[in-house]
Structure 1
Amino acid sequence: DFNNLLTGILGQASLVKIHAEHNRPITKNLDSLTKAAERAAELTQKLLAYAGKGRYELSVINLNSILADNHVFLQTLIPPHVDIHLNLAPHPMYVKVDPGQIQQVIMNLILNAANACSPKGGIVTIETDSFTFTADDAPQTIAQTPLEAGIYQKLVVIDNGVGMSPETLTKIFEPFFTTRPHGRGLGLSATLGIIKAHHGGLQVKSRLNIGTTFTIFLPTAQAPDSRALPAAKAIRQQRGKALVIDDEVGVRDVAADGLKILGFQVITAANGKEGLQKYQSCADDLQIILVDMKMPVMNGAGFLAQLRQVDANTKVIFSSGYSETEIDSYLRADGNLWFLQKPYTIKNLQKLVEQ
């Protein structure tokens, strides 16, 4: 719901900015409005991350490379009296993750560790290694479901700070819980959600006046193929009719206006069932369908299933406030399907269509 509202705000601001391009006072105010809405969108992403529903674009990376390449940068994020020590495994640590989200996890844990250290000085140690276990000896993690047996890459962040009491330890992953006067308390809760969404696990151990250890387990991925990857699928720029299906009027209007700017004749529908009826009247000249995933009467998945029974070629864009991983199975099975994350701006929509 928040993402639908923000899509309307960002989209309308983008449209007004296009029409008021040469009016500097207005565009300046619109820039401020857009930045405020984008900050709100970032907050919803953190809340979605806590729920394990954040936006993820997965690729295979070497976890050791991320840590080694960002060592100097990470050191600049923390107070000068705290040092970061790396103790990395000698072999590559391949994991299939969203690099930006995993970097956020690393920063959250390092900042948390550094803030726990004494002003007189402290050390944050980051260790990596591979870890194999069976169903019988799987580690206990903070998750509703146990980890599956297999080979995992282990990331450990250790500090020699003040530590936490057992009471505090039970609360640190609650949204907005913080022990700092000016903290916002979303870092660790978002961290847990991100790790869960990557099918990983997280452990934490702490002792007062000794320090805290966070351990993350991520499933091992195969090394990336060094051969050239095939060109990404793209929607060719065409004109004709576009069908927008969304139950939120504000989102529907923004998407329709954005596609009209690109030269499309736009038809709208409020749910998948109505969308199928509208499709039948314009199928011959229909170029693109933008459909929301969650709607009453008939959702996006139901619409796509019905559509593909009669039309396998029309290009469809799924739009959702949840992550691309939520519809990954649909994307893999359908070569004419794309994804647009909510909230989106007119520029985001146009960029995807014009590719």
Structure 2
Amino acid sequence: MTVLLDVLIVEDNEDDALLLLRELKKGNFQPRSERVESRPEMLSALTRKKWDIIIADYSMPNFGAVEALNLLQEEGLEIPFFIVSGTIGEDVAAAAMRGGAKDYLMKGNLTRLIPAIEREIQEKQMQRIQKMESLGALAGGVAHDFNNLLSAILGRAVIALDKLPLGHTARRDIELMIEHTERAADLANQMLAYSGKGGFEIQPMDLNALLHGNMPLLQAGIAKNVLVMMQLADYLPDVAADPGQLREVITQVVLNAAEAIGPRNGQIEIRTRLADDYELTLAEWPEEKWTRSGNYILLEIADNGSGIDNENLAKIFDPFFTTKELGRGLGLAAVQGIMRGHRAGMEVLSEPGLGTTFRFFMPACQMAERPAAPVVMAAPAGHKVLVIDDEQPIRDLVEDVLMMYDVPVLTASSGPKGIELYTQNRQDVGLIILDLSMPGMNGEDTCRALRELNEDVAIIISSGYHKDDVAERFSGLRPSGFLQKPYNPRQLVDEVKQRLDAAVPV
């Protein structure tokens, strides 16, 4: 299978350039190339396009490999740079490598060219994956801590609102506090989406039908000078996707496209069709070694807006990156996270002044087995609720809320303390609310220990992560329910009431 490769060749001899291209084709690359001979030509090429590699002749009279490498570094671009020459000494080659070149080769012996390029492409791909994983882990961790804080803020605000009589002047202020806290929770969920830990309700769905149904909202959400058009292939198989998350992806990309078009007349075209095997090699995938099999549906969203330059193209999926004065949260970073969660491929093509095309390769339906849903059990006899959470504000909030409904509460700040407290009050505890992420003994290990003490005790798992991730981790431990942080007091009361109302005598 051939791999597309964008190659910038710094060479004054056209025959030598053709020799390089022939060598690349022998190595199963399909090169798209441009040959330049001067500093202005190379600068123009670097500005117009994103290149995979640069190959430069060392011995050009006015603008050779050394000058080309210096220009690349002046522009702050990290593109693998290879030097070829008819004659080059070992000392000169070593100096070029120290200066930033990836390798040097003799024109009469190019056998090392293909392995050297493959090595650099693999290294660059690994760096991208590691960057995505690092940012994803950071975003997921921040979102979890953020949700803990928001739980306490939201809960206290709702309690305060309930205590105020209708018509009180402070009610509107507290209502605004609740509204903004919920918006902050939406941002935390975007961060979870970017980390790939957002909740996905994967199901077979008709992509074309979703696009048709979403069309009126898309057109209504952008300026009238921008026309949204669709070119959808007939008889496509269903895709395995979360409809709500996929709508978010489409909406986010269309809004960005409309902003790129600006006040002038322009158009956005949404296209679907079956992807071919060659196209799959062009996309970036969530895991380097993940084997892609089966059919894929290609979803393209193209605009004729201002386009994206190379420098910004490398940053568009970074959290909170924006070229505008005000952003919309995680934006395209969340798009990337959602696609990663769907194990879908992505490719972005853009040329300044001409427009941008986002390409998403969605797996056609072969439904992966979903984690089993949590088992809802009847709570055993007992009235007390045991709260195990390392966050003091969360423990205090749950205790205050449940005491308002005459439900006695025991609290513990860690897994071992919770187990000890349950052992001492086993006959009185009818329900346990257990935090997932705690230092030392985490929620999973604590739940396992509690199950060994009483396999029927009702346990509600509470977490800032999505319930799907929790269900997968706790599938063998039979959790009774789930509370997604941040939750408000009414959600807490409803969940607890449902479990305690179901209590049966021993």
Specify if TM > 0.5.
yes
1:147–1:201 CA contact under 8 A, matched in 2: no
Q: State the Cα RMSD in Å.
A: 2.9
The answer (yes or no) to whether the contact 1:48–1:54 under 8 Å persists in 2 is yes
Alpha-carbon shift at residue 30 of structure 1 (Å):
1.6
For residues 9-40 of structure 1, the C-alpha deviation after alignment (integer angstroms, 9 at most, x for no partner) is 00111222223354622332221211122222
In the comparison of the two structures, how many residue pairs are matched? 348
Q: Which residue of 1 aligns with 2:407?
A: 264
Is the radius of gyration larger for structure 1 or structure 2? 2
Which amino acid counterpart does residue 434 of structure 2 have in structure 1?
V
1:163 pairs with 2:307: yes
Instruction: State the Cα distance separating 1:107 from its structure 2 match.
Output: 0.6
2:206 corresponds to 1:62: yes
1:306 to 416, 437, 449: 449
Distance 1:51 1:337 in 2: 27
- 1:109-157, Cα deviation, whole Å (9 max, x unpaired): 11111222253321211122344759x9644316453553123333211
Tell me the distance in 2 between the aligned counterparts of 1:288 and 1:273: 17
Q: Distance in 1 between matches of 2:233 and 2:428?
A: 57
Q: 1:34 aligns with which of 167, 178, 181?
A: 178
Separation in structure 2 between the aligned mates of residue 142 and residue 33 of structure 1, nearest angstrom: 40
Identity rate, percent = 36
Alignment of 1:1-355 (within 5 A): 1-22=145-166, 24-91=168-235, 93-117=237-261, 119-131=263-275, 133=277, 138-141=281-284, 143=286, 145=288, 147-150=290-293, 151-184=295-328, 186-222=330-366, 240-355=383-498
Provide, for residues 210-248 of structure 1, a one-character-per-residue CA deviation record: whole Å limited to 9, x for no partner. 221111123334579xxxxxx996576997121111100
- Aligned residue identity for 1:249: Q
Q: CA deviation at 1:93?
A: 4.9
- How many Å apart are 1:348 and its aligned residue? 2.2
Q: 1:331 to 1:137 in 2, by over 3 A?
A: same
CA contact (8 A) 1:177 1:185 kept: no
Q: Is the 8 A contact 1:55 1:341 kept in 2?
A: no
Q: Determine if contact 1:156/1:213 at 8 Å carries over to the other structure.
A: yes
Unaligned residue ranges in structure 1 (runs of 5+):
225-230
Question: Matched residues in 2 for 1:331 and 1:64: separation?
Answer: 36
Find the residue that maps to 1:125 and give its secondary structure: strand
**Separation of aligned partners in 1, 2:179 and 2:402:** 23
Is the partner of 2:270 in helix, strand or coil? strand
List per-residue Cα deviations over 1:273-307 (Å, max 9, x = no partner): 11111111222343221111111121101111112
Deviation of 1:56 (Å): 4.1
Using the alignment, how far apart are the partners of 1:320 and 1:232 within structure 2?
Answer: 14
Aligned position for 1:227: none
Question: Counterpart of 2:487 in structure 1: which amino acid?
Answer: Y
| Paired AA for residue 327 in structure 1 | V
2:360 maps to a residue whose letter is: I
Identify the structure with bigger relative contact order (alpha carbons < 8 Å, sequence gap 6+): 1
> Aligned in 2, Cα 1:262/1:90: closer, same or farther, shift over 3 Å?
farther
Residue 303 to residue 220, structure 1, CA distance change in 2 (3 Å): farther
Which stretches in structure 2 are left out of the alignment for 5+ residues?
1-144, 499-506
Question: What residue identity is the alignment partner of 2:229?
Answer: H
Shift in Å at residue 334 of structure 1?
A: 4.5
75 and 257 in structure 1: CA distance in 2 versus 1, 3 angstrom threshold: same
1:33-78, Cα deviation, whole Å (9 max, x unpaired): 1112222222222233222233444444332222111111111011
Could you tell me whether the CA contact under 8 Å between 2:187 and 2:330 is conserved in 1?
Answer: no
Counterpart code for 1:18: D
Q: What SS does structure 1 have at the residue aligned with 2:426?
A: helix
Q: Is the 8 A contact 1:314 1:336 kept in 2?
A: no
Contact 1:113 1:124 in 2 (8 A): yes
| Contact 2:195-2:337 within 8 A present in 1 as well | yes
- 1:250-295 deviation digits (Å, cap 9, x = unpaired): 0111122233344422111111111111111222343221111111
Q: Which residue type is aligned with residue 2 of structure 1?
A: F
Q: Which amino acid aligns with 2:220?
A: T
Could you report, residue by residue, the CA deviation over 1:64-108 in whole angstroms, capped at 9, with x for unpaired residues?
Answer: 222111111111011111111122232355344443322211110
Change beyond 3 A, Cα 1:7–1:161 = same
Closer, same or farther in 2 for the Cα pair 1:120/1:29, shift >3 Å? closer
Q: Is the 8 A contact 2:305 2:353 kept in 1?
A: yes
CA distance in 2, matches of 1:146, 1:125: 32
Residue type at the aligned position of 1:121:
N
Tell me the TM-score normalised to structure 2 length.
0.62
Equivalent-residue separation in structure 1 for 2:472 and 2:196 (angstroms): 17
Q: State whether residues 377 and 480 of structure 2, in contact with CA within 8 Å, keep that contact through their aligned partners in structure 1.
A: no
